Structure 1
Amino acid sequence: MQKLSNIHISAPSQRSVFVDVLRGIAIILMIIFHFAYDLTVFAYANYNTNTDLEWRIFRALIVSCFLLAVGMSSFLAYAGGVNIRKLLLGFSKLLIVALLISLSSYFMYPKHWVYFGIIHFIALALPFSILFLGRPVLSVFIAVMMLVGYFCDWLSMQVIWQWSVVHLGIPKHTVDLVSFTPWFALVLLGTVVMHFKLVPELSLNDVTRKIAFLGRHSLLIYVIHQPLLFAGFYLVEILK
């Protein structure tokens, strides 16, 4: 675990164009995914984004990009020392957004509300990832064990999930769920990639600059994109 002596107020870290672009790509793909979902909600299409294999793979790609970026960003921000105020500020913003998502989803989908979606996961994964910075071998080992255990059904969350459904009143089916296993493995691998400097250098051009801009404002875009999409669909319905 990270020593307390390493926890101090550190200087602002340098941004990575690659990480911003990766997060920006994830945002673009996410908007496409939710646009397809909304097409079904408003009866313009009949996509089943929860069960159709192609949509499940597409969602897994989006989540993987986001979580790799979380691990990479964690390394950039905290590998040289943990800025407590910055960490608490980032965690607080994520927590507030997560609570807003849960609250709004409860009113929209009371039987399928979001209790642990991607933002909830990132809020939890961020402080946990700091414990593994500077420990790439341990991170790779845990990540591999998580992935192998998940796909071999050794690390099933079924018992905990069933208990939560019965005793905590969470819905059995939710519109967004990102379980700690195996997804934390992607965060760990993101820190490893940055530790060994395996990230290619990207230069800013007209395309990468625009994508990186989206990546730098990914949380805000995540919050507002669905209300804007819904407003657009409602406007189309009114103008029919």
Structure 2
Amino acid sequence: MSNLSNTRNVRVNEVDILRGMAIVLMVIFHFCYNLAAFDWLDINTNKDIEWRVFRAVIVSGFLLAVGMSSYLVYSKHVNLVKLSKAVTKLVAVALLLTVGSLFMYPNAWVYFGIIHFIAVALPISVIFARFPTTALMVGVTCLISYQLDWISMRPIWLWSVEHLDIPRKTTDLVSFIPWISPVLIGIYVMHKSLFNIKIAENMISNTLAFLGRHSLAIYLIHQPIMYGAMLAISKL
């Protein structure tokens, strides 16, 4: 989520705002998901096209920010110690989320959600950070190939469901293909300064930037708080 390995203390306010917007949309998505889980709202976030598009926008925002931040931090120099700490932190958080989801959703627990994905995608993005044009070409190729059904992670997923005893249904699944694409494209976007929007500072933009800088912490706490509150209300 956030730039966990900012070895050069490089920050672009607009990237923080992008991440902040994604975290706000994610909270809204999960709030509605919880309403549906308690039968308080008649929607299906896994099947309804509008909710699937909404989720895709959220995930794309986060992953674009991962690629953009990776270029800022690693395009000139790679501090392997800092990178290792960042990946280790992400892996630890991912395991925590998996364990927590086992209690909250025992039949749909998270085994490769967005944090799991970022833990894998971050070191890959570092490899491409010095080669932004290559990153763009690989990212676009993966996206087009996926849309044309030339490549897919589905065979691997089906094998895993059958042999690793993971559930077919999960509350959060971010497949490596096609989602590595926005990470790689984000590298090129930052390289070419295509996101150089220069948003004016005001209460809204400053709030979004603050949320973006603390997105990982918000990601960790928001769902247990919302779900716990709704569970308590349902018991009344």
Structure 1 length-normalised TM: 0.92
Partner of 2:128, secondary structure, is coil
Q: Which residue of 1 aligns with 2:105?
A: 109
Distance 2:21 2:141 in 1: 28
Q: Which residue of 2 aligns with 1:202?
A: 199
The answer to whether residue 235 in structure 2 is matched with residue 233 in structure 1 is: no
Q: CA deviation at 1:111?
A: 2.2
Distance 1:67 1:183 in 2: 8
Instruction: Indicate the structure (1 or 2) with the bigger Cα radius of gyration.
Output: 1
The answer to whether residue 118 in structure 2 is matched with residue 122 in structure 1 is: yes
From 8, 13, 17, give the equivalent of 2:13: 17
Identity %: 52
Distance 2:182 2:56 in 1: 11
| TM-superposition CA deviations, 1:202-240 (whole Å, max 9, x none) | 3422111111000000000000000110222134335x5
The ranges of structure 1 where at least 4 consecutive aligned residues each deviate by more than 3 angstroms after the TM superposition are none
Q: What is the identity, as a one-letter code, of the residue corresponding to 1:223?
A: L
Q: What is the identity, as a one-letter code, of the residue corresponding to 1:138?
A: T
Structure 1 residues 162 and 95: alpha-carbon distance in aligned structure 2, compared to 1, 3 A threshold: same
| TM-superposition CA deviations, 1:2-25 (whole Å, max 9, x none) | xxxxxxxx9523211011000000
From 1, 23, 28, give the equivalent of 1:27: 23
Q: What is the identity, as a one-letter code, of the residue corresponding to 2:206?
A: R
* Kept after mapping to 2: 8 A contact 1:17/1:203: no
| TM-superposition CA deviations, 1:133-177 (whole Å, max 9, x none) | 121221111111111110110012222111111111111221110
- Count residues in correspondence: 230
The answer to whether residue 176 in structure 2 is matched with residue 174 in structure 1 is: no
Supply the RMSD in Å over aligned alpha carbons. Answer: 1.4
Q: Which residue of 1 aligns with 2:40?
A: 44
Where structure 2 has 5 or more consecutive residues not aligned to the other structure, the ranges are 1-5
Q: What is the identity, as a one-letter code, of the residue corresponding to 2:122?
A: L
Structure 2 length-normalised TM: 0.93
Where structure 1 has 5 or more consecutive residues not aligned to the other structure, the ranges are 1-9
